[in-house]
Structure 1
């Protein structure tokens, strides 16, 4: 922009002031509206995010923005209270202006020109704005006339600074570019590691800067963007839960449903029903979250329009005050310096007994340890892993695990932190999990900051891609369960990693006894040659999911621990091919369902209307159907699988008893 031409157009225009106000937004607050006329927005206090149509601005104190009539404005305050002024005006070109000026006006209407910048001399502009505000609110004709003088002085000072600073258009910084990227690629795989690699910054620096500027971590922002889009699809379309989950980046509809419920406070079905019952509610949650970043046209913007889309538990959490980032950085540096010798001075012994009934014995053995060993043991040893040899503490006390929670509990260790996915979807493990275990985030979006805050002396992960990031915080072991052919081998390996060899041995002995007891319970209940299948029609649409002996949903418990027989099709097409599960059409269901069938159910979710190909099955007609709960059977770890097997044996026994 040629600022001399710009001020020349102002000089040949007629200006009418419409309104001048001072607005305060509380910490974490939101506000959005359309500009009814052209206007200046001058932020004098606080920091946060501001959307102007398709552009996002990360602001801090003394940030000035100009926008034309009809522009969509959205504020999100950060950790501190935000104070800003808006000055609304109408401008029109004088018909007496020269043809050249009128031509420039048509090509570059100064009253519609969007721009934003941080002034070099902000206090001078503030004096003009504050004077305008004071005079305007006296509501006297002379004062209102006087305001116009201040307004022209404000514009003159503003253009002087714009010219001096060489402002042409606003350049996005790293955080703004990442936010733009998230809104354009929300339905793709986005991780903290991929963002750090793309912008060529360390994970710690990128995460720190993003959270400092927005009040949320990048992954929290991704989740909220996805949930906002999912809400819009639920309100505006008849898309199924599976279709919505896929469209916002989640292949597993059950995982999406659980995440949605955690963020919004209700299931997708409950949310959709509630929105349909809300008369006249046509707001778009997606646009409420991102303004027009998603290239949609807004139908309505209302100041403080933050009803259903913002009043959720997840959203409230995102805007809480964050801890000092300087402490976080120093902690990371300190952790890296001590990686070779670990954090051996843990304040407490976070262990408990294994599931075989040895918790009391384990606690007593800890109490009877020599006092010098109980207080501190900083010795190290090497363990062989899929990533090579790793030095780990001889007796780790502060364990963080992002997936294989069961084996850790089985050897008598209570972690200080675990994935909420495992804690929420491995319900059989709940009795062994005290409230002291901290949530480190959902699987696929683990918070490195939360892990860092826990000061672990060892991290157990399944994820080789996360190994490098984790290993910067503490010694890290990739626990690859596919290396072990039996559950006993798996538990033995975890015992070696955590220095709990004796506990692992006792658990394995108990496992053999409990397995034999469960098998004996059903031995005389169902025929020895009877076949059994596991199916899921509750978390999928329009087809049937058939489960093998690997993965979640009780397959390991049914086929490996209880030793029940799969149908020939399940064996040849799933188990022999080492597949977790396959999807089959309802027309072919008879080929996969055996004499007995285990069916998944989800609390609060009604099953679909079942076709005749299902209701005509012998297993269904003979009432050989066993229902199991998804929240208890989603996990497939060794400990959960044992508990699942005992539960299935009990259900089969009760089914047989009720049939007599």
Structure 2
């Protein structure tokens, strides 16, 4: 990179600063090169401060050119992403928040410059990863993602964690999340769904299983006992402390796989101390670069023409879960969040979807070249905004008014229930002019279901019992027919609920999804057939691997092998990727699974 005629060799994270009027040239040696450009304007917050005026006159830090390799780049990277996310939003509070993060970015930058000095040493990978995890545990981070940012493989990073801390990367991340969840359960009245989302999980049931594995208690039981001494001493509710404390200040040149790179040319050019520079920066009022008019509104982009085109479209009013919305009569750019299954079978024109590698719809979306993102526990508003949709179709809780309002600021938004996909597909088909297609999907599904049910009854009889479970190495989830994800096995395919589960359901209520029970319950299950799943629908590859390893541990236990269905060889594993979601594609796959289990396909 050439900044005003001075060259910098960039390999990995590198930070450059230049003043107004300087030129930047980039000569990439690889096909993929990514950089971020922050444009800012600084002016004195207190014009009458003569000392600051004198400092600026003798050496303005905002006109000084320098470049260096930060020793903790992820901290700067994270703050930039926070800035970008909020700056792209429409509201003034979001703009104000972004400017506040700019102060944090500058503080972090000058703090690293002050301690780094020569700029050639880097903190070891584990320390960097720990800091990133503790700052970003509520974000959609994965071990692969962290390793990618640090320039190493996930397996290498986990080996370093194991070597230095005695734990793996995913175990450390899980510990941090459960620590914060424990504090929220103990100190707030937040709902379980809210807590699940705030610590980076999407599936409440999966979160409950992980929480119990870590603490020994289900979340709500943990909350009810939080005032008792035994729970107060739990290491998971020590506010502000990590489960495994980092080894601060340790440099590990052998393990980091980083070579000294870059320079710190600002040292020879900067005539003021870093402390003085920080004083100047922290007493300046930063404002984002604007047009010459000084407007703080977002600069007009190509999205403006899209908006104009939208306004010229004819519209109609559509009823949905959140009320009524005025939408284009013939939408051509639909962003989808949670209803991808339905939209795929309708062959709708999607410009964005929610999925991740390994999820059952991911490959289908890739084949159709639909960009896919996934943000655990939240909605990626920035990606939706960037996709420039003329309509958003989402699966939200009826109480989630805030998300609906945020989405509606981007484009007209309609909301439907994924668990009731038949009614939803009819409504969506009507909204986007695909009513005939929706009707044909339902007809084909009903015909397949009817044939499958008849074939199953003919093969095994009408009175054979079933238990659908999700075990871990500490407990087991027992699903009832009311659980929308597994109800197809009980209600639609005609199998009878296991007598033990039926007794549990009498106590819990007909509408209960199921219960969490101890592993000692397993031998009591008298069902003729056992359907077993592990993990969740949106597990990362690491999380799915851990869930399968736990299932293997359970299968080696004596109590597992004492289950009647296990002894008879009537155990069938079902993938949580599609069994823990609903939709025409998912439910068709479930029917195929059951037919295959009974050797009918």
TM-score by length of 1: 0.50
Paired residues for 1:187-586 under 5 Å: 201-203=92-94, 206=97, 223=139, 236-238=165-167, 241=171, 243=175, 246-247=178-179, 296=246, 298-301=248-251, 307=257, 329-331=299-301, 334=304, 338=308, 342=310, 378-421=313-356, 424-427=358-361, 430-431=363-364, 434-463=367-396, 464=400, 465-481=402-418, 484=420, 487-537=421-471, 540-549=472-481, 555-571=486-502, 573=504, 576-586=509-519
Task: Output one character per residue of 1:566-595: Cα deviation in whole Å (capped at 9) or x when no partner.
Answer: 224435645954343432101122445621
Paired residues for 1:42-57 under 5 Å: 45=17
Instruction: Assess, with a 3 A threshold, how the Cα gap between structure 1 residues 333 and 208 changes in structure 2: closer, same or farther.
Output: farther
Instruction: Assess, with a 3 A threshold, how the Cα gap between structure 1 residues 509 and 444 changes in structure 2: closer, same or farther.
Output: same
Q: Partners in 2 of 1:207 and 1:435 — Cα distance? A: 35
Instruction: Assess, with a 3 A threshold, how the Cα gap between structure 1 residues 617 and 226 changes in structure 2: closer, same or farther.
Output: closer
SS at match of 2:489: helix
Q: Partners in 1 of 2:406 and 2:202 — Cα distance? A: 29
SS at match of 1:391: strand
Alpha-carbon distance, 1:383 to partner:
1.1
Is contact 2:196-2:202 (8 Å) kept?
no
2:592 aligned to which of 646, 650, 658: 646
Alpha-carbon distance, 1:23 to partner:
11
Is 1:120 the equivalent of 2:90?
no
Structure 2 unpaired stretches of 5+: 1-5, 23-33, 39-51, 67-74, 110-131, 148-156, 182-194, 204-241, 259-288, 292-296, 536-543
Is 1:621 the equivalent of 2:567?
yes
Q: Residue 531 of structure 2 corresponds to which residue in structure 1?
A: 598
Instruction: Assess, with a 3 A threshold, how the Cα gap between structure 1 residues 381 and 211 changes in structure 2: closer, same or farther.
Output: farther
Question: In angstroms, what is the RMSD of aligned CA positions?
Answer: 5.4
TM-score by length of 2: 0.55
Is 1:26 the equivalent of 2:10?
yes
Instruction: Assess, with a 3 A threshold, how the Cα gap between structure 1 residues 557 and 385 changes in structure 2: closer, same or farther.
Output: same
Is contact 1:491-1:504 (8 Å) kept?
yes
Is contact 2:336-2:352 (8 Å) kept?
yes
Q: Partners in 2 of 1:331 and 1:129 — Cα distance? A: 30
Alpha-carbon distance, 1:125 to partner:
8.3
Q: Partners in 2 of 1:625 and 1:533 — Cα distance? A: 10
Alpha-carbon distance, 1:477 to partner:
0.9
Is contact 2:334-2:349 (8 Å) kept?
yes
Alpha-carbon distance, 1:179 to partner:
5.4
SS at match of 2:327: strand
Larger Rg: 1
SS at match of 2:56: coil
SS at match of 1:534: strand
Is contact 1:390-1:475 (8 Å) kept?
yes
Is contact 1:403-1:443 (8 Å) kept?
no
Equivalenced residues, count: 410
Q: Partners in 1 of 2:462 and 2:64 — Cα distance? A: 90
SS at match of 2:598: helix
